[in-house]
Amino acid sequence: MLRTGRAGQPHLGTVNANANGQFSTTVTIPSNATAGTHTITASGASASGGTLVLSASVTVTRAGAAAPGAAGRLAFTGSTDTAPLLWIALVSLVVGAALVVGARRRLTTRGREAGSR
Protein backbone atom coordinates (compact mmCIF):
# COMPACT_ATOMS: atom_id res chain seq x y z
CA MET A 1 0.00 0.00 0.00
CA LEU A 2 1.30 3.48 -0.83
CA ARG A 3 0.40 6.55 1.15
CA THR A 4 1.91 9.86 2.15
CA GLY A 5 3.50 10.17 5.56
CA ARG A 6 1.39 13.10 6.77
CA ALA A 7 -1.61 12.43 8.96
CA GLY A 8 -4.88 12.70 7.08
CA GLN A 9 -3.27 12.39 3.66
CA PRO A 10 -4.83 9.96 1.22
CA HIS A 11 -4.02 6.41 0.23
CA LEU A 12 -2.17 6.75 -3.11
CA GLY A 13 -2.59 3.22 -4.40
CA THR A 14 -1.73 -0.43 -4.15
CA VAL A 15 1.00 -2.19 -6.08
CA ASN A 16 2.24 -5.79 -6.09
CA ALA A 17 5.93 -6.67 -5.93
CA ASN A 18 7.46 -9.23 -8.28
CA ALA A 19 9.22 -12.44 -7.19
CA ASN A 20 12.37 -10.44 -6.39
CA GLY A 21 10.48 -8.02 -4.17
CA GLN A 22 10.74 -5.17 -6.70
CA PHE A 23 7.90 -2.88 -7.66
CA SER A 24 7.33 0.21 -9.74
CA THR A 25 4.25 2.38 -9.98
CA THR A 26 3.11 5.86 -10.88
CA VAL A 27 1.18 7.88 -8.35
CA THR A 28 -0.73 11.11 -8.71
CA ILE A 29 -0.27 13.63 -5.96
CA PRO A 30 -3.72 15.05 -5.17
CA SER A 31 -4.24 18.65 -6.29
CA ASN A 32 -5.18 19.65 -2.75
CA ALA A 33 -1.89 18.39 -1.26
CA THR A 34 -0.19 21.00 0.87
CA ALA A 35 3.08 22.45 -0.38
CA GLY A 36 6.19 21.18 1.33
CA THR A 37 8.09 17.97 1.92
CA HIS A 38 6.07 14.77 2.00
CA THR A 39 7.12 11.19 2.54
CA ILE A 40 5.59 8.49 0.38
CA THR A 41 5.59 5.21 2.26
CA ALA A 42 5.19 1.70 0.88
CA SER A 43 4.51 -1.13 3.30
CA GLY A 44 4.00 -4.84 2.86
CA ALA A 45 5.03 -8.29 3.99
CA SER A 46 8.75 -9.03 4.01
CA ALA A 47 10.31 -12.36 2.98
CA SER A 48 10.67 -13.29 6.66
CA GLY A 49 6.96 -12.71 7.28
CA GLY A 50 7.32 -9.36 9.08
CA THR A 51 6.28 -5.97 7.76
CA LEU A 52 8.67 -4.11 5.48
CA VAL A 53 8.33 -0.32 5.18
CA LEU A 54 10.07 1.70 2.46
CA SER A 55 9.83 5.46 2.10
CA ALA A 56 10.88 8.26 -0.22
CA SER A 57 10.72 12.02 0.30
CA VAL A 58 9.16 14.26 -2.33
CA THR A 59 8.70 18.02 -2.40
CA VAL A 60 5.29 19.30 -3.42
CA THR A 61 5.13 22.82 -4.86
CA ARG A 62 2.17 24.72 -6.17
CA ALA A 63 1.43 24.33 -9.88
CA GLY A 64 3.82 26.35 -12.02
CA ALA A 65 6.25 27.01 -9.15
CA ALA A 66 9.94 26.34 -9.54
CA ALA A 67 11.44 23.55 -7.48
CA PRO A 68 13.50 24.61 -4.47
CA GLY A 69 16.96 25.67 -5.56
CA ALA A 70 15.89 26.23 -9.16
CA ALA A 71 16.56 29.60 -10.75
CA GLY A 72 13.10 29.70 -12.30
CA ARG A 73 14.14 29.53 -15.94
CA LEU A 74 16.06 26.93 -17.86
CA ALA A 75 19.52 27.89 -19.01
CA PHE A 76 19.76 28.92 -22.65
CA THR A 77 22.38 26.70 -24.26
CA GLY A 78 21.93 27.66 -27.90
CA SER A 79 23.46 30.33 -30.09
CA THR A 80 21.76 33.55 -31.05
CA ASP A 81 24.08 34.39 -33.95
CA THR A 82 24.91 31.40 -36.13
CA ALA A 83 25.19 33.30 -39.44
CA PRO A 84 29.00 33.76 -39.20
CA LEU A 85 29.42 30.06 -38.51
CA LEU A 86 27.28 29.17 -41.53
CA TRP A 87 29.39 31.44 -43.75
CA ILE A 88 32.61 29.88 -42.45
CA ALA A 89 31.21 26.41 -43.15
CA LEU A 90 30.11 27.40 -46.66
CA VAL A 91 33.49 28.98 -47.51
CA SER A 92 35.30 25.91 -46.15
CA LEU A 93 33.13 23.65 -48.29
CA VAL A 94 33.81 25.69 -51.44
CA VAL A 95 37.57 25.86 -50.78
CA GLY A 96 37.66 22.10 -50.12
CA ALA A 97 35.76 21.37 -53.33
CA ALA A 98 38.14 23.63 -55.30
CA LEU A 99 41.16 21.82 -53.86
CA VAL A 100 39.71 18.43 -54.82
CA VAL A 101 38.93 19.59 -58.36
CA GLY A 102 42.43 21.08 -58.70
CA ALA A 103 44.11 17.90 -57.47
CA ARG A 104 42.09 15.76 -59.89
CA ARG A 105 42.99 18.02 -62.81
CA ARG A 106 46.69 17.81 -61.96
CA LEU A 107 46.51 14.01 -61.78
CA THR A 108 44.65 13.85 -65.10
CA THR A 109 47.14 16.21 -66.77
CA ARG A 110 50.14 14.26 -65.46
CA GLY A 111 48.58 11.01 -66.63
CA ARG A 112 48.13 12.38 -70.14
CA GLU A 113 51.71 13.68 -70.24
CA ALA A 114 53.09 10.33 -69.08
CA GLY A 115 51.01 8.48 -71.73
CA SER A 116 52.27 10.68 -74.55
CA ARG A 117 55.96 9.96 -73.86
Three-state SS string across 55-105, please?
A: EEEEEECCCCCCCCCCCCCCCCCCCCCCHHHHHHHHHHHHHHHHHHHHHHH
Write down the pTM of the prediction.
0.44
pLDDT, residue 30, reads 79
Along the 117 residues of the chain, how does pLDDT read in single tens digits? 555 555 566 778 888 888 887 888 888 887 777 888 888 888 888 878 888 888 888 888 876 666 556 656 777 777 778 888 899 999 999 999 999 999 999 888 877 777 666
List Cβ neighbours of 101 (8 Å cut-off, separation of 6 or more): none
pLDDT, residue 40, reads 84
Name which of 43, 40, 35, 71 is nearest 58 in CA terms: 40
Answer yes or no: are the C-beta atoms of 43 and 53 closer than 8 Å.
yes
